[in-house]
Structure 1
Amino acid sequence: MRIVIVGEDAARAAEFDQVLGDFGLDWVIEWLPEVTAVDGDMPAFDVFVCGLTPGPIGGPELLARVAALYPQAVRILLLDQNPDEASVDIAQGLESAHRVLGRPLDPVELVTAVESVVDLRELLDNEVLKRTLGRISSLPPPPRLYLQLTRLLRDPEASNAAIAQALSQDPAIAAKVLRLCNSAYFSGGREISDMRSAVIRLGHQALLRLVLTVEAFGGSGFGTGKLREQVQDRALRASNLARRLLPGPSAELAATASLLAEVGRLLPGVATAEAGDTAAAEGEEAPDFAEAGAYLLGLWGLPMPIVEAVAYQQRPGQMRSGGFWVTGAVHVATALVAGQEPDEAYLRAVGMLDKLPQWRELVEPSLLDDQAA
Structure 2
Amino acid sequence: MFIVIVGEEGGRANEFEQALADFGLGWDVRWLPDAAAALALPNDRPVDVVVCDLRVGNQQGPALLAQMRAHHSDAVRILLVDEGQGADLSQALEVAHRLLRKPLDAGELIEAVESVIELRELLDNEQLKQAIGRIGSLPPPPRLYVELTRLMQDPESSSAQIGEVLSQDPVIAAKVLRLCNSAYFSAGRVVTDVRAAVTRLGLQTIQRLVLATEAFSGSGVVNGIDREAMQDRALRTSRLAAQLLGGPSAELAATAGLLAEVGMLLPGVRIPGREPEHADTGDGPHYAEAGAYLLGLWGLPMPIVEAVASHHEPSRMRMSGFWVGGAVHVASALVCDTPVDENYLRAVGLIDRLPRWRSMAEELAEAA
Normalising by the residue count of structure 2, what TM-score does the alignment of the two structures yield? Answer: 0.65
- Cα 1:334–1:280 change in 2 (3 A) is closer
1:311 to 309, 319, 323: 309
5 Å-filtered alignment, 1:186-225, equals 186-219=185-218, 223=222
How far, CA to CA, are the matches of 2:238 and 2:111 in structure 1? 31
Greater RCO (CA < 8 Å, at least 6 residues apart): 1
5 Å-filtered alignment, 1:55-66, equals 66=107
* Conserved? CA contact 1:227–1:266, under 8 Å: no
Structure 1 residues 170-226: Cα deviation after superposition (integer angstroms, max 9, x where no partner): 222112211221222222222211111111121111111111111100146882796
The alpha carbon displacement at 1:67 in A equals: 5.4
- Cα 1:287–1:271 change in 2 (3 A) is closer
How far, CA to CA, are the matches of 2:201 and 2:161 in structure 1? 15
The reply on whether 1:177 has 2:176 as its aligned counterpart is: yes
- 1:162 counterpart letter in structure 2: Q
* Conserved? CA contact 2:179–2:185, under 8 Å: yes
How far, CA to CA, are the matches of 1:150 and 1:253 in structure 2? 14
5 Å-filtered alignment, 1:253-292, equals 253-270=252-269, 285-292=283-290
Structure 1 residues 93-141: Cα deviation after superposition (integer angstroms, max 9, x where no partner): xxxxx9xxxxxxxxxxxxxxxxxx96x6345242332343344331111
How far, CA to CA, are the matches of 1:182 and 1:279 in structure 2? 37
- 2:300 counterpart letter in structure 1: L
- 1:359 counterpart letter in structure 2: W
Aligned to 2:326: 328
- Cα 1:259–1:364 change in 2 (3 A) is farther
- Cα 1:303–1:219 change in 2 (3 A) is farther
Normalising by the residue count of structure 1, what TM-score does the alignment of the two structures yield? Answer: 0.64
How far, CA to CA, are the matches of 2:352 and 2:333 in structure 1? 17
Q: Which runs of 5+ in 2 are unaligned?
A: 1-17, 27-104
Aligned to 2:354: 356
Identity among equivalent positions (%) equals 59
Aligned to 2:22: 42
Aligned to 2:137: 138
* Conserved? CA contact 1:246–1:325, under 8 Å: yes
The alpha carbon displacement at 1:151 in A equals: 2.1
How far, CA to CA, are the matches of 1:227 and 1:174 in structure 2? 22
Aligned to 2:109: 68
For these two proteins, the number of residue pairs brought into alignment is 272
* Conserved? CA contact 1:264–1:290, under 8 Å: yes
- 1:251 counterpart letter in structure 2: A
How far, CA to CA, are the matches of 1:170 and 1:354 in structure 2? 46
Aligned to 1:147: 146
* Conserved? CA contact 1:279–1:286, under 8 Å: no
The alpha carbon displacement at 1:72 in A equals: 4.2
* Conserved? CA contact 2:173–2:194, under 8 Å: yes
Classify the secondary structure of the residue corresponding to 2:247: coil
- Cα 1:222–1:126 change in 2 (3 A) is farther
Classify the secondary structure of the residue corresponding to 2:185: coil
Structure 1 residues 322-341: Cα deviation after superposition (integer angstroms, max 9, x where no partner): 11111111011101111123
Which stretch of structure 1 is more off in the superposition, 346-355 or 327-336? 346-355
- Cα 1:209–1:356 change in 2 (3 A) is same
Aligned to 1:163: 162
- Cα 1:332–1:65 change in 2 (3 A) is farther
The alpha carbon displacement at 1:160 in A equals: 1.2
- 1:259 counterpart letter in structure 2: L
The alpha carbon displacement at 1:237 in A equals: 0.6
5 Å-filtered alignment, 1:65-144, equals 66=107, 68-73=109-114, 121-144=120-143
